[in-house]
């Protein structure tokens, strides 16, 4: 049953939680957690260490770092700056994990997604707010930036296949071959399994990114193997599958039934279904009316812009505003 069980999510953390809820132990996958009480930020590292773990999780071997900040959906500039500081630290951690030095680094930032679709506009918005420096350093030299170490930052928004007629990978590969960066950072909107993670979670992965995978729209992935240089993927869940909302409602209903003396038996019967079976039941009940529908918050336009500033600020801190030691 687990093989057929396919919840729409891009978050490695949620994949791991799915197996834990069914009491399934995954060999080759390590989970590490830490909590910043002052900033109310929970950091979870999911390390997929073996091919067996990768096959079970449906994720390539690598490190998936998830930042959960419940207050990220609140328009508080000071808090978002704190999130940016932490985010820049974790991006740097993954860069150094790839044995790259951040001092003289050439970085291509790719803003994935469709600017015309609000929940998918995260990548283009981040690229808009980046401080690009490659042209300045190329033209005037590294001291034009007033820094001892010059970090060449360039950005591209490749659009989507429906707009360009080309795969995102084809465009990015062409730019990489021509400009020869040391690293590609790809930013994309993701799909989540849990509604409470929408716009409140940032996932950073050193395995690259697969555009459209969370909504079942599979495109060629941006990975080190396909692009030719290391790729770090940064994503924020902005949509959730309608079936998962119905599934969450069913969970709340079961809990409510179990507290009722009269209807306790009904709740006990439904509780015998595992997560996979409940999800499949919900999908069958709502199909074909809601199957394939994705839901986003009503104020998503403001939230996406806000979070895009947070991510671009983190990248600007890391590559252009970093103080010399």
| Domain parsing of the chain, residue ranges | 12-243+292-319, 244-286
- Lowest-confidence pick of 46-60, 192-206, 263-277, 304-318: 263-277
Please check the confidence at residue 46 and state whether its pLDDT lies above 50.
yes
| Percentage with pLDDT > 90 across the chain | 31
Element (H, E) at 294: strand 294-295
Q: Are strands 152-156 and 106-111 parallel, antiparallel or unpaired?
A: parallel
pLDDT digit string, tens, across residues 177-202: 999 999 999 999 988 887 888 899 99
Please report the pLDDT score of residue 73 as a whole number.
82
When pLDDT is averaged across residues 42-62 and rounded to a whole number, the result is 82
The answer, yes or no, to whether residue 270 has pLDDT greater than 80, is: no
- Beta-bridge partner residues of 30: 47
Per-residue pLDDT, averaged over 156-182, amounts to: 92
Structure tokens at 300: 């998503």
Beta strands (DSSP E) in 61-140 are 62-68, 106-111
Q: Work out the pLDDT band at 323, boundaries 50, 70, 90.
A: very low
SS3 at position 11: coil
Whether pLDDT at 157 is above 80: yes
CA 10 to chain centre: 7
Query: Taking 50 as the threshold, does the pLDDT of residue 65 lie above it?
Result: yes
The mean pLDDT of 16-42, rounded to a whole number, is: 72
pLDDT category of residue 174 using cuts at 50, 70 and 90: very high
Mean pLDDT of the chain: 81
The fold of the 12-243+292-319 domain, in CATH, is: Rossmann fold (3.40.50)
CB atoms within 10 A of CB 258: 15
The CA distance from 310 to 45, in Å, is 21
List Cβ neighbours of 99 (8 Å cut-off, separation of 6 or more).
Answer: none
Number of helices (H) and strands (E), helices first, in the chain? 12, 9
Q: Per-residue confidence at 295, pLDDT binned at 50, 70, 90?
A: confident
How far is CA 63 from each of CA 2, 96, 205, 304, 316, rounded to the nearest angstrom? Answer: 23, 12, 6, 25, 23
Instruction: Give the dihedral sign, CA 236/223/158/150.
Output: positive
């Amino acid at each position: 049953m687990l093989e057929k069980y396919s919840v729409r999510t891009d978050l490695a953390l949620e994949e791991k939680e799915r197996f834990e809820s069914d009491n399934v132990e995954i060999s080759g996958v390590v989970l590490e957690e830490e909590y910043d009480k002052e900033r109310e930020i929970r950091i979870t590292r999911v390390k997929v260490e073996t091919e067996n773990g990768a096959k079970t999780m449906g994720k390539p071997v690598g490190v998936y770092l998830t930042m959960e900040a419940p207050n990220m959906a609140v328009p508080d500039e000071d808090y978002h700056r704190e999130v940016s500081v932490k985010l820049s630290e974790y991006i740097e951690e993954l860069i150094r994990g790839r044995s790259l030095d951040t001092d003289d680094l050439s970085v291509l930032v790719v803003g994935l997604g469709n600017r015309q679709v609000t929940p998918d506009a995260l990548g283009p918005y981040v690229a808009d707010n980046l401080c690009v420096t490659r042209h300045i350093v190329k033209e005037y030299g590294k001291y034009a930036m007033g820094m001892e170490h010059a970090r060449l930052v360039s950005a591209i928004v490749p659009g989507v296949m429906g707009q360009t007629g080309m795969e995102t990978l084809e465009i990015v590969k062409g730019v990489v071959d021509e400009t020869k960066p040391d690293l590609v950072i790809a930013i994309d909107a993701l799909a989540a399994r849990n509604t409470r993670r929408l716009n409140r979670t940032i996932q950073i992965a050193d395995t690259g990114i697969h555009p459209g995978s969370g909504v079942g729209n599979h495109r060629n992935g941006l990975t080190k193997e396909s692009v030719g240089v290391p790729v770090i993927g940064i994503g924020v869940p902005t949509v959730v599958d309608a079936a998962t909302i119905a599934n969450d409602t069913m969970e709340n209903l079961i809990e409510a039934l179990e507290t009722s003396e009269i209807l306790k038996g009904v709740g006990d019967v439904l509780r015998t279904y595992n997560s996979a079976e409940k999800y499949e039941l919900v999908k069958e009940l709502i199909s074909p009316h809601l199957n394939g529908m994705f839901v986003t918050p009503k104020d998503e336009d403001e939230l996406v812009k806000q979070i895009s500033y947070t991510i671009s600020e983190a990248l600007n801190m890391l590559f252009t505003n970093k103080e010399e030691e």
